[in-house]
Amino acid sequence: MSLLSRPERLVLAAGVAGLALAATACGSARTGSSTGEGGASAGCAAFAGYGRHEGGTVSVYSPIRDVEADLLERAWKPFAECTGMRIDYEGTGEFEAQIQVRVDGGNPPDLAFFPQPGLLARFAEAGVLKPASAEVKRLAAEGWSPDWARYATVDGVLYGAPLGASVKSLVWYSPKMFRERGWAVPRTWDELMKLSETIAATGLKPWCAGIESGDATGWPATDWVEDVLLREVGPQGYDDWVSHRLPFNDPKVVAAVDKVGAILRNERFVNGGYGPVRSIASTAFQEGGIPITQGRCALHRQASFYANFWPEGTQVAEDGDVFAFYLPGDDPSKRPVLGAGEFVAAFSDRPEVEALRAYLASADFPEARMRLGPYVSARRGVDPSNAHNPVDRLSIEMLQDPDTVFRFDGSDQMPASVGAGAFWKAMTDWINGKDTRTVLDRVNASWPTS
C-alpha cells in the first residue's frame, strides 16, 4: 500500500524544484548598493587614502541614539559617499545587554561603540574582537594620551581607538542667576557647601539631580561618587578602587559616599524643582538639570554632554543662560578630571570595516562631527576653537592639557556585574533611603571572585 499515488509524488517534486528555482533566480537579480554612487566629486580628495569599497556594507551598533545618532550619520556621510560604502547604523538604549545577545546569537555587528572599557575587555578576552590594525594603532598613538589608549588595551593588545569623549567633573549653573543674586563660582569644596547653604537660606533648593535611565538607572549617582572619590583618595587610590585593591566598603569609600550624601541626601539641598530626595531616583537624567532654566534650582552636576539636553533656545555661554564650572575638591591646586567616552571595536576585519575604523580614529572625523553640533573629543590635533559651544571648548582644552590628570569613569571599567549592575543599583537604593554602609557592603560582595 502506498500513501501517495504517483501523480501526487510528481506534484510534490515539481513544487520543490520550482521553489529552488525561484530562490536561485532571486539570488542572481542582485542590484547595486543604494548609496555611494556619487563618488569622485571634488570633496572626495580627502578620502582618497581610504580606497573604494563599492557595494561594501558596514554595520555599526552603538548606544548613541536620537539627535546625536543623526549627527554621527551626517558626519560620516561624505566619507561613505566617497568610498562607496554603505554604513548601517543602529543605536540602542540597551547596548550592554543586546551586544551580548547579538554576539552569542552569531549576529555581531561589524563595529560597535563601547562606552565601557570593562565590557570591551570582556569581549576581547572571549576572543571575538579583532585587534587594531597597524594603521589604527598608529592613529591612536598619534592622537591619544597613553591614559586613553590603555583603557582599550587588553593583555597588551590594542582593540580600538577612542571616539567621542565627555568631561564629567562639571557643575552646571546659571550665570545670569548667579549675577543677579550676587553668588560666586566656588573654588573649593568648602566654598561649594557654603554656597549651597546660602542658596538654601533663600528658600531655593540649591541642587537638582535625576538618575533614572531605564536599565542603567543609577549611573549619574555613581559618577558623583567617582568624582568625589578621585579627589579624596587621589588618582592612584582611584585606580586601586577601580581594580578592587581598595575594597568597596573601605572607610575611605564610605566617607566619599557620605560626602556626596551631604548634598544628594540632604532634604534642604535637593531636589530643586522635583520634590524630596527620593524623587532623584525617578527623575530622568535628561531632565535632571532643567529646573535651572526655570529658576527652581541653582546647581546640577552633570557631564559636558548635558549641553545637548537644555531646552531649545537656552544660551550656553559664560555669561548666558547656563554654563558649567569645575567641581572643586578640598585642594584647589589639584584638579583631576573624570571623564568618559566610547571606544570603536571591530568584530570583523573586511577592508571596508578597516577603512571606516581608520577614518573614525583620524582627526578628520571629530572635526567633521564638531562642525555639526555639540561634541567633545580628547584627540590631539582637534582644534578647540571649532567647538560648538563654550562648554565643549572648555572640555576639549581640559582633556588636551598635558598637565591634566585624567581618569575614566570607574564604573565603566569594573566587571559589568559591579559597574553596570550592583553599583548602579546600590546608589539607586541609597538615594531611596538605604544606608551607605549596607549598600557598599553589597557592592563589595558582588565583586566576581575569579
Partner 1 sequence: MDFDLAAEQPKLLQLLIGVAAFLVVVAAVLLLVDRVPMRRRAWPHATILLAPALLLLGVGLVAPAVRTTLLSFMSGDGRRWAGLDNYVWMFTRPEALTVLRNTVVWVLLVPPLVTSVGLVYAVLVDRTRFEALARSLLFLPMAISFVGAGVVWRFVYAYRAEGQEQIGLLNQLVVSVGGQPRQWLQEPPLNTLFLVAVMVWIQAGFATVVLSAAIKGIPGEIVEAARLDGASPRQLFFRVTLPSIRSAVAVVLVTQSIGTLKLFDVVRTMTGGQFDTGVIANEMYDQAFRYGETGRGAALAVLLFVLVTPVVVYQVRGRAR
Interacting residues toward partner 1 by CB under 8 A: 1-4, 9, 12-13, 15-16, 19-20, 22-23, 26-27, 29-34, 96-97, 100-101, 122, 125-126, 214-215, 217-218, 273-276, 278-279, 281-282, 415-417, 420-422, 425, 428-429, 432, 442, 445-446, 448, 450
In degrees, to the nearest 5, what angle opens at C-alpha 162 toward C-alphas 156 and 164? 165
**Cell digits for 237?**
587610590
Nearer Cβ to partner 1, position 103 or 363? 103
Nearer Cβ to partner 1, position 33 or 314? 33
Specify the residue for cell string 535628561: 286
Residues near 229 by Cβ (< 8 Å), separated by ≥ 6?
A: 237, 238, 241, 252, 253, 256, 410
Closest approach, Cβ 443 to partner 1, in A, equals 10
Of 294, 278, 296, which is closest to residue 205 (Cα–Cα)? 296
**Cell digits for 271?**
531636589
Nearer Cβ to partner 1, position 84 or 415? 415
Nearer Cβ to partner 1, position 279 or 386? 279
Residue type, 231: R
- Residue 304 near residue 389, CB atoms below 8 Å: no
Closest approach, Cβ 24 to partner 1, in A, equals 9
List residues bridging with 111 in a β-sheet: 60, 346
The C-alpha atoms of residue 296 and residue 242 are separated, in whole angstroms, by 36
Nearer Cβ to partner 1, position 271 or 395? 271
Nearer Cβ to partner 1, position 229 or 280? 280
**Cell digits for 227?**
568624582
How far is C-alpha 381 from the geometric centre of its chain's CA atoms? 21
Closest approach, Cβ 223 to partner 1, in A, equals 18
DSSP 3-state assignment of 342?
strand
Residues near 51 by Cβ (< 8 Å), separated by ≥ 6?
A: 83, 351, 355
Closest approach, Cβ 382 to partner 1, in A, equals 33
Closest approach, Cβ 104 to partner 1, in A, equals 9
Nearer Cβ to partner 1, position 279 or 400? 279
List residues bridging with 231 in a β-sheet: none
Closest approach, Cβ 398 to partner 1, in A, equals 32
Identify the H or E element spanning 356: helix 351-361
Closest approach, Cβ 421 to partner 1, in A, equals 4
